[in-house]
Amino acid sequence: MLELMTLGEKNVVYFQESGNNHSINIINPTSENLVSDIAQLKQTISHQAEIIEMQKVQIETLNALVASMKSA
Give pTM, 2 decimals. Answer: 0.52
- Give the domain extent around 17: 2-71
Q: What HEC string does the chain produce? A: CEEEEEECCEEEEEEEECCEEEEEEEECCCCCCHHHHHHHHHHHHHHHHHHHHHHHHHHHHHHHHHHHHHHC
| Chain segment 13-65, per-residue pLDDT in tens | 555 555 555 555 555 555 566 777 777 888 888 889 999 999 999 999 999 99
